């Protein structure tokens, strides 16, 4: 049996998946109707909307399968998310990658599998719409097009969920998405005894930019800051626009002292941008940095509140 490889963007992929806040939620009609359509259209016993988590594949919708998840290391969908096209196995019992897979030699006795990767708005592949048969079969070009169309419909439903946790202007997490992701992250920090620090940002004199140059220019300043902030941070760090001209970032495995080095790099990149910018205004920020302490910060709100208070002190010192 061949275990699925881990994608090179796995950290970012899992962050994207968890930002949906969809794992372990009840089944929903908008996804169930797609799996019903798939089972009827292809005359298969099983159709799934499968989301590939760290150690499992969890089924947001399942028709014809009694379990809600299976281990990732034996999953067919774990292989499917590694490619761009529909992943097809005509007969798993004669495929050396799957012939001794527990899902092949035991229930549900998979023989045929076809899975179309499901992409988030940022292009990250988080799961599949897949169909399964207990008999070998071929898959025609017409079948391929039909499954791709159904997967596109599933992606539209996922996009609606993702837009609820993304900031439309800057295309990074909004407050709701950030709270969800940080909730997962700090639980992991406690379990694995990993340090983390939160940085709370507020743009300086942002109202002046809006009042002098108009809201369109203010929007451009927000987008520019978000892009430079995102570029400065690591893939494993979490960043969001909390609201207005306020941003926040959770830096994993990073104590406060190291976070200050990150802020210096951010300032250096902004200085380069400001020097080259044709605009008369400068993009600058005030910030507060706080170490995550599970004894002090019972939840994400408490961590944000401490960061906000320290940011305000910074802004007051600037005058």
pLDDT per residue as tens digits for the range 205-255: 999 999 999 999 999 999 999 999 999 998 778 899 999 999 999 998 899
Percent of all residues in the chain with a pLDDT value above 90, rounded to a whole number: 81
- Does 114 have pLDDT greater than 80? yes
Higher pLDDT, 177 or 265: 265
**Confidence class for position 92, pLDDT limits 50, 70, 90:** very high
**Confidence class for position 64, pLDDT limits 50, 70, 90:** very high
Q: Record the tokens describing residue 302, joined without a space.
A: 């408490």
**Confidence class for position 316, pLDDT limits 50, 70, 90:** very high
Percent of all residues in the chain with a pLDDT value above 70, rounded to a whole number: 100
CATH numbers and ranges of domains, the chain: 10-163 (3.30.450.40), 175-318 (3.30.70.270)
* 264 burial via Cβ count (<10 Å: 0-12, 13-18, 19+): exposed
Q: Record the tokens describing residue 228, joined without a space.
A: 């430079």
Report pTM. Answer: 0.73
pLDDT (tens digit, 9 = 90+) per residue, 249-305? 999 889 999 999 999 999 999 999 999 998 889 999 999 999 999 999 989 999 999
**Confidence class for position 67, pLDDT limits 50, 70, 90:** very high
Question: What pLDDT does residue 204 have?
Answer: 96
* 216 burial via Cβ count (<10 Å: 0-12, 13-18, 19+): exposed
Question: What pLDDT does residue 166 have?
Answer: 86
**Before 317, cis peptide (omega within 30)?**
no
**Confidence class for position 104, pLDDT limits 50, 70, 90:** very high
**Confidence class for position 203, pLDDT limits 50, 70, 90:** very high
For residues 153-170, give the mean pLDDT: 90
**Confidence class for position 160, pLDDT limits 50, 70, 90:** confident
**How high does pLDDT run on average in the chain?**
94
Question: What pLDDT does residue 152 have?
Answer: 93
For residues 38-65, give the mean pLDDT: 96
For residues 40-66, give the mean pLDDT: 97
- Does 192 have pLDDT greater than 90? no
Question: What pLDDT does residue 191 have?
Answer: 82
Please provide the distance, in angstroms rounded to a whole number, between the alpha carbons at the two ends of the chain. 65
Distance CA 273, CA 252 (A): 27
Report long-range pairs for 59-65 (Cβ below 8 Å, ≥24 apart).
60/22, 60/25, 60/27, 60/28, 60/31, 60/127, 61/27, 61/28, 61/31, 61/32, 61/34, 61/35, 62/27, 62/35, 63/32, 63/35, 63/36, 63/38, 63/39, 64/39, 64/108, 64/132, 65/108, 65/132
Question: What pLDDT does residue 217 have?
Answer: 95
* Nearest Cα residue to 72 out of 39, 50, 46: 50
Q: Record the tokens describing residue 266, joined without a space.
A: 């951010």
């Amino acid at each position: 049996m061949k275990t699925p490889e881990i994608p090179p963007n796995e950290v970012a992929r899992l962050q994207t998946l968890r930002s949906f806040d969809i794992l372990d939620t009840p089944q929903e009609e908008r996804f169930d109707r797609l799996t019903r359509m798939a089972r009827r259209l292809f005359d298969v016993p099983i159709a799934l909307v499968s989301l590939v988590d760290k150690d499992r594949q969890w089924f947001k919708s399942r028709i014809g399968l009694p379990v809600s998840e299976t281990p990732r290391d034996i999953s067919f969908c774990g292989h499917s998310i590694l490619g761009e096209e529909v992943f097809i196995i005509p007969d798993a019992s004669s495929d050396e990658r799957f012939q001794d897979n527990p899902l092949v030699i035991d229930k549900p006795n998979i023989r045929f599998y076809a899975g179309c990767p499901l992409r988030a708005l940022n292009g990250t592949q988080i799961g599949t719409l897949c169909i399964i048969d207990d008999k070998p079969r071929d898959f025609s070009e017409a079948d391929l097009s039909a499954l791709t169309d159904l997967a596109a419909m599933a992606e539209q439903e996922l996009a609606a969920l993702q837009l609820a946790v993304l900031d439309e202007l800057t295309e990074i997490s909004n407050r709701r998405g950030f709270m969800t992701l940080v909730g997962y992250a700090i639980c992991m920090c406690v379990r694995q005894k990993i340090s983390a620090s939160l940085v709370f940002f507020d743009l300086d004199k942002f109202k002046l930019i809006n009042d002098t140059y108009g809201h369109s220019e203010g929007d451009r300043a927000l987008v520019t800051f978000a892009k430079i902030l995102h570029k400065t941070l690591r893939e494993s760090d979490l960043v969001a626009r909390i609201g207005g001209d306020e941003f926040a970032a959770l830096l994993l495995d990073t104590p406060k002292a190291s976070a200050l080095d990150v802020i210096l790099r951010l300032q250096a990149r902004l200085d380069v941008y400001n020097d080259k910018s044709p605009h008369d205004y400068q993009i600058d920020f005030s910030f507060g940095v706080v170490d995550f302490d599970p004894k002090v910060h019972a939840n994400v709100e408490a961590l944000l509140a401490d960061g906000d208070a320290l940011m305000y002190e910074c802004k007051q010192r600037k005058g």
